[in-house]
């Protein structure tokens, strides 16, 4: 057995052929608990993998040390070709890994391999399966702008846009954190709740601002701004506060601060986000005051105006939207 172990480790294809022809047991495990097929997969040698499978090596055998079936090994290596070989030999691509229970489909979504996702779905992988913590495939997928097609494919296959109930964050939070407005819009169109909270009690816009990169390099800043815009247009609660007792606006100001922000400096992206959120706050305040104006009896008009001035001293500006008329000048 040591001869076959050494031949596989050294990628000696002819030696492996000779040992197989001599009748070596290809399903024997090493002292460490690894199968010969597992060793070949770790060496990423497709020819050796096919040799062992053709000789009867089990595509189902689970390695004792790490509870990984062969399909789990190849997805970690991002090898669609090896996964296809294993499935052709009868491997179940939907088998969960040990106690953690993540699947090949989940890991393929995490690494952003659309071809591997397609292969899994074509062979019956279940988009509703959850891991040991309740996360399903969309909670593994990263919300990167380059992964829009992958998210669309999983949603088309029936993946729940709300996620599997993970205690960490929903798919919408992943998309918001990953700076993909397109994925945010896909999820919202599919029925994701804009009000869902993550483990930090953050809603999607608080997550986007809290974990955004407002002073980082490149075009990512524009993408981040578009995420905030998409969430605002979807009606997200911009006044919501997280476990730091901070709203999205306060996080944006924090990011901009020279003394306290992660980056500091003059961050144009943060300024634009602040302007977006402030405009939405002003719109909602004006709408609420407009309702008060329409439904306030004249005798309490002065009291309403005084309350409005307490909230915002600029309210007496004649150009202020949704303005309530002063007592005696109409209602």
**What's the angle, vertex CA 274, arms to CA 319 and CA 172, rounded to 5?**
125
Distance CA 301, CA 219 (A): 49
Nearest to 140 by CA among 112, 100, 121, 180: 112
What is the dihedral sign for C-alpha 173, 174, 177, 179? negative
Which of the following CATH numbers is that of domain 194-295: 1.10.10, 2.60.120, 1.25.40, 1.10.3470?
1.25.40
Please, are residues 194 and 236 in contact by the beta-carbon 8 Å criterion?
yes
Q: What are the boundaries of each domain within the chain?
A: 194-295, 297-331
Give per-residue pLDDT as tens, 292-302. 667 666 555 55
DSSP 35: B
Give pairs for 319-328: CB < 8 Å, separation 24+.
320/286, 321/282, 321/286, 321/290, 322/285, 322/286, 322/287, 322/288, 322/289, 322/290, 322/293, 323/289, 323/293, 324/289, 324/292, 324/293, 324/296, 325/293, 325/301, 326/301, 326/302, 327/298, 327/301, 327/302
| pLDDT for position 163 | 83
What's the confidence (pLDDT) of residue 329? Answer: 43
pLDDT in tens, 273-284: 889 999 998 888
Q: Residue 314's closest CA among 286, 288, 292?
A: 286
Confidence of residue 21 (pLDDT cuts 50, 70, 90): very high
Contacts of 234 (CB under 8 A, 6+ apart): 184, 188, 194
Model confidence over 217-252: pLDDT tens digits? 545 677 888 999 999 999 999 999 999 999 999 888
Determine contact, residues 186/193, Cβ cutoff 8 Å: no
pTM for the model stands at 0.80
Looking at per-residue confidence, does 106 or 292 come out higher? 106
């Amino acid at each position: 057995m040591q001869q076959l172990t050494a031949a596989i480790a050294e990628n000696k294809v002819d030696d492996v052929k000779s040992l197989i022809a001599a009748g070596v047991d290809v399903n024997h495990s090493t002292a460490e608990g690894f199968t010969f097929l597992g060793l070949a997969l770790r060496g990423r040698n497709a020819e050796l993998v096919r040799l062992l499978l053709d000789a009867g090596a089990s595509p189902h055998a689970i390695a004792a040390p790490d509870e990984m079936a062969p399909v789990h090994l190849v997805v970690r290596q991002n090898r669609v070709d090896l996964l296809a070989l294993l499935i052709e030999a009868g491997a179940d691509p939907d088998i969960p890994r040990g106690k953690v229970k993540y699947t090949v489909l989940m890991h393929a979504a995490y690494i952003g391999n659309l071809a591997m996702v397609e292969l899994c779905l074509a062979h019956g992988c279940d988009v509703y399966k959850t891991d040991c913590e309740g996360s399903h495939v969309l909670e593994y997928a990263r919300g990167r702008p380059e992964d829009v097609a992958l998210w669309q494919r999983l949603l088309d296959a029936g993946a729940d846009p709300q996620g599997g109930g993970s205690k960490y964050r929903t798919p919408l939070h992943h998309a918001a954190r990953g700076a993909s407005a397109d994925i945010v819009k896909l999820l919202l169109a599919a029925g994701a709740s804009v009000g869902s909270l993550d483990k930090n009690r953050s809603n999607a816009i608080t997550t986007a601002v809290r974990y955004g990169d407002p002073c980082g390099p490149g075009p990512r800043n524009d993408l981040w701004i578009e995420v905030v815009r998409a969430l605002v247009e979807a009606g997200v609660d911009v006044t919501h506060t997280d476990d730091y007792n901070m709203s999205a606006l306060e996080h944006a100001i924090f990011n901009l601060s020279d003394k306290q922000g992660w980056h500091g400096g003059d961050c144009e992206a943060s300024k634009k986000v602040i302007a977006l959120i402030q405009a939405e706050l002003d719109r909602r305040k004006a709408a609420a005051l407009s309702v008060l104006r329409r439904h306030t009896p004249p005798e309490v008009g002065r009291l309403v105006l005084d309350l409005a001035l307490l909230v915002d001293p600029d309210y007496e500006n004649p150009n202020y939207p949704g303005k309530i008329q002063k007592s005696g000048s109409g209602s």
